Structure 1
Amino acid sequence: MEQLPLWAQIGAVALLLICSGFFSISETAMMALNRHRLKHLANQGALGAKTTQGLLARTDELLSVILIGNNLFNTIIPVLTTSIALHTFGHDNLVLSIATGVVAFLIIVFAEITPKIVGATYPEKIALPASFLIAPLMRVAMPLIWFVNLFANAILRVLHINTKGGRDQRLSTEELRTIVLESGSFMPTKHRSILLNLFDLENITVDDVMIPRRRIEALDLDAPFDSILNQLETCYHNKLIVYQGDIDRVIGVLHVRKTLAALHNQELERETLRELLAEPYFVPSGTPVFQQLQYFQESRHRTALVVDEYGELQGLVTPEDILEELIGEFTTSIPRSASSRGGWNAEGECIVAGSMPLRELNRWLQLTLPTDGPKTLNGLILELLEEIPDGDVCMEITGVRLEVMRSDDQAVRTVKLFKPGARGADKGVRKLLAS
């Protein structure tokens, strides 16, 4: 090297720094690469994706060739730089110290920190092209890699470290949820909402989505026949639950349209109604909604009656109730407890029924009332108060202010909600904070 001109020796040092930087940037880019994104690129036939996949499938060999190359150049650079300094400025301890400091600075900045920052910032753009150089280098250096890994693997075995188990990168539900939340503008808001609701679906049961017992539109077969006919002609649903005397004594499900057709063709009687009844379909309380959706597919039923351990009717659930948890409320002309109103008014207030399910209320008014306990607004209020209020009561639950407007000896009937941030809810008699 001493026979070469000074500019050639400096150029050789610069070239070695570039080579060392290449291995540093490749190492960081390869390790920072999203494996799932890489798999997608490989399926799309992106240039270099399959080669990169092959390299990452052998992480131990990949790291070995990168670190061998990186350390080889980082070892040569100080020797060459020191030789240039001593030949140029003479044999002096000060020159040697300065040369060592300069070499360390050059390696840290130009061969380590800067390349690795770039590699971590643009892993995909760097890793895929770099794989075309690293792959042949790995094949050429295979004997050296095998020799080095012989000692490395022995140390790993002594430490009882299983490298194969760490390569299986499976995402949990919470990790998938985080990916969806961070998708931002890459995914439409509606699609993102459906996916997030899908993740929530595994944690809820039919009790969370069912129509409560008090809101079930049912037909009492023991009622006066004129009342039965009037209910059939004015009901909102195509199917009615039919009971006898007590709603816990369900005897069948009546198809209203078929019944009205029979009414036009012949004189309708109670026995005719009995003949038109379909067998009721009961499901136990606490059934997961995913499992219930599968039951609906297998049994061809469209209406399920939820009963508790004592056989008492708790509510009614349909496939539509489950699908609404995914995609939101269906457009319908059927009046519901609160959705028939207009939502928040100009003052940021909304009056709802105490029997309204919390999940429906959260979805409709974009609230965050807790749903891991009571299922209805009335239940939530009674749980916090530990009594049935006998007058106007105000409280605050997870940032939402409520005012009990009407109650009786059994339950809270009407509640006024104040939109978070709206004024006018400070006149309460009592305020409770939900933990």
Structure 2
Amino acid sequence: MEHIPLWAQIGAVIVLLFCSGFFSISETAMMALNRHRLKHLVNKGVFGAKTTQSLLVRTDQLLGVVLIGNNLLNTIIPVLTTSIALRTFGSNNLVLSVATGIVAFLIIVFAEITPKIVGASFPEKIALPASFVIAPLMRALKPVIWFVNLFSNAILLTLRINTKGGREHRLSTEELRTIVLESGSFMPTKHRSILLNLFDLENITVDDVMIPRRRMEALDLDAPFEEILHQLETCYHNKLIVYQGDIDRVVGVLHVRKTLAALHKQELERETLRELLAAPYFVPSGTPVFKQLQYFQETRQRMGLVVNEYGELQGLITPEDILEELIGEFTTTIPRTVGSRRGWNEQGECIVAGSMPLRELNRWLQLSLPTDGPRTLNGLILERLEEIPEGDVCVQIGDVQLEVLQSDDQTVRTVKVFRPKTQARTVQS
């Protein structure tokens, strides 16, 4: 190499360092590229996305051409650098040692670390254009790549390592949840909340979202007929659960509007009322909410009665109750005897019924009371106190302070909820 000018050798080292850095930056960018994002870019027809996707399908060949090119260049660079050192400073052990150290430093900084950092930081911007250089090189070096991979595949086969099974990347529910949580300002808050609630539908049952039996509006067929007529004229819902004597003995569902229309046309009698009843639709306790939503869709039902293994009525569920778990409350509910929909007062307090479901209370007041145990506020307080309070009692659950205002021998009737300090600071800011 003595006949090659010194400036040409130095220029060749710089070019080779640049080429080696190109292989490093391309490899890192393509490996760091999000596969799902890449599929989206391919569907949008982004320039270079399809070529990049075709390269990543053949990962063994892609890594083969990149590593062959990178290592070949990293082998030539020390040879050229040593030649320059010997030509400039003569044959000397110290010169060779210094030249070796300089070459190692140049390769590490300019051909390895710096390109890899840039490639990992901007994978999409680098991988797509680089694919147009890597693709023809892969075709040109196909015989060499095949020969090298022949040995690599033999070693993997000997070690019984299956690389085909790891090529398909599937996101779990928790990984999707993390993606949604980290979407930040890229997704509206309401949309993000709906997606997160959708993931939760797999983990909750109808017992978590149903209207408890104590809050159900039902009609007793054995009651005096005057009371039945009065309840029909003043009832809050369009459909009523009708039972006979005991609420566990449900005989049907009554369409109030049709009943009132029949009342205006002719004199309504108890037997006529029984003829207007529709067959009740029962739902086993513990049914997953998402599966129940599918059942509602398949059976064209608008109301289900939740019963336990003994056939006892536990509550009532409608498609609207499930949808409220996704998008928040949007339908009217049974009026509450205590508490109102005004939420927190000026003192940061709110009075609610002890029978209120915890999931509904959390959604309404933006609280984080635990929902993996009792389903109502009354149940949560009794579990924490391990007894029914006889007078005014305060209890702290997480960051929420609760004060029992009214209770009887069986349940906690009324509770005052104090706004958490962290929530108060957020509202003020």
Q: TM-score range by the shorter chain?
A: over 0.9
Report what 1:205 is aligned to.
Answer: 205
Q: 3-state SS of the aligned residue for 1:249?
A: strand
Q: 3-state SS of the aligned residue for 1:383?
A: helix
Cα distance between partner residues in 1 of 2:422 and 2:385: 24
Are 1:349 and 1:419, in contact at CA under 8 Å, matched by a contact in 2? yes
Are 2:240 and 2:256, in contact at CA under 8 Å, matched by a contact in 1? yes
- Identify the range of structure 1 (388-397 vs 317-326) with the bigger mean alpha-carbon deviation: 388-397
Cα distance between partner residues in 2 of 1:85 and 1:338: 90
Are 1:348 and 1:422, in contact at CA under 8 Å, matched by a contact in 2? no
Map 1:132-171; keep pairs closer than 5 Å. Answer: 132-171=132-171
Distance 1:338 1:49, change over 3 A: farther
Distance 1:7 1:173, change over 3 A: same
Report what 1:129 is aligned to.
Answer: 129
The amino acid of 1:136's aligned partner reads P
1:393 CA displacement: 1.2
Report what 2:196 is aligned to.
Answer: 196
Report what 1:286 is aligned to.
Answer: 286
Report what 2:215 is aligned to.
Answer: 215
Note if 1:415 corresponds to 2:415: yes
Note if 1:116 corresponds to 2:133: no
Distance 1:339 1:114, change over 3 A: farther
Cα distance between partner residues in 1 of 2:26 and 2:335: 62
Cα distance between partner residues in 2 of 1:102 and 1:324: 67
Report what 1:238 is aligned to.
Answer: 238
The amino acid of 2:10's aligned partner reads I
1:223 CA displacement: 1.3
The amino acid of 1:27's aligned partner reads E
Cα distance between partner residues in 2 of 1:42 and 1:204: 37
Report what 2:59 is aligned to.
Answer: 59
The amino acid of 1:155's aligned partner reads I
Q: 3-state SS of the aligned residue for 2:130?
A: helix
Q: 3-state SS of the aligned residue for 1:247?
A: strand
1:333 CA displacement: 7.2
Report what 2:306 is aligned to.
Answer: 306
Q: Identity percentage over the alignment?
A: 83
Cα distance between partner residues in 1 of 2:186 and 2:194: 15
1:2 CA displacement: 2.5
Report what 1:388 is aligned to.
Answer: 388
Q: TM-score, normalised by structure 1?
A: 0.95
Are 1:338 and 1:356, in contact at CA under 8 Å, matched by a contact in 2? no
1:415 CA displacement: 0.7
Are 1:17 and 1:107, in contact at CA under 8 Å, matched by a contact in 2? yes
Report what 1:68 is aligned to.
Answer: 68
Distance 1:254 1:330, change over 3 A: same
Q: TM-score, normalised by structure 2?
A: 0.96
Cα distance between partner residues in 2 of 1:124 and 1:333: 50
Are 2:339 and 2:350, in contact at CA under 8 Å, matched by a contact in 1? no
Q: CA RMSD in A?
A: 1.5
Note if 1:375 corresponds to 2:371: no
Report what 1:102 is aligned to.
Answer: 102
The amino acid of 2:168's aligned partner reads D
Report what 1:432 is aligned to.
Answer: none
1:5 CA displacement: 2.7
1:336 CA displacement: 4.1
Cα distance between partner residues in 2 of 1:337 and 1:83: 93
Structure 2: unaligned runs, 5 residues or longer? 425-429
Cα distance between partner residues in 2 of 1:340 and 1:267: 39
Report what 1:325 is aligned to.
Answer: 325
Cα distance between partner residues in 1 of 2:423 and 2:157: 67
Q: How far does the alpha carbon of each residue in 1:61-95 deviate from its partner, in whole angstroms, 9 at most, with x for none?
A: 10011000000000000110010011001111111
Are 2:221 and 2:242, in contact at CA under 8 Å, matched by a contact in 1? yes
Count matched residues: 424
1:246 CA displacement: 1.0
1:155 CA displacement: 1.1
Q: How far does the alpha carbon of each residue in 1:258-304 deviate from its partner, in whole angstroms, 9 at most, with x for none?
A: 11111111111111111111111111111111121121112221111
1:331 CA displacement: 4.6
Cα distance between partner residues in 1 of 2:271 and 2:362: 44
Q: How far does the alpha carbon of each residue in 1:82-138 deviate from its partner, in whole angstroms, 9 at most, with x for none?
A: 100110011111111111111111101100010000000000010011111111111
The amino acid of 2:30's aligned partner reads M
Q: 3-state SS of the aligned residue for 1:347?
A: coil
1:184 CA displacement: 1.0
Distance 1:333 1:374, change over 3 A: closer
1:366 CA displacement: 0.8
Q: 3-state SS of the aligned residue for 1:324?
A: helix
Cα distance between partner residues in 2 of 1:350 and 1:253: 35
Cα distance between partner residues in 1 of 2:288 and 2:333: 29
Q: How far does the alpha carbon of each residue in 1:165-197 deviate from its partner, in whole angstroms, 9 at most, with x for none?
A: 110100000001001111111111111111100
Are 1:82 and 1:100, in contact at CA under 8 Å, matched by a contact in 2? yes
Cα distance between partner residues in 1 of 2:367 and 2:314: 25
1:423 CA displacement: 12
Are 2:394 and 2:401, in contact at CA under 8 Å, matched by a contact in 1? yes
Q: 3-state SS of the aligned residue for 1:414?
A: strand
Cα distance between partner residues in 2 of 1:35 and 1:337: 54
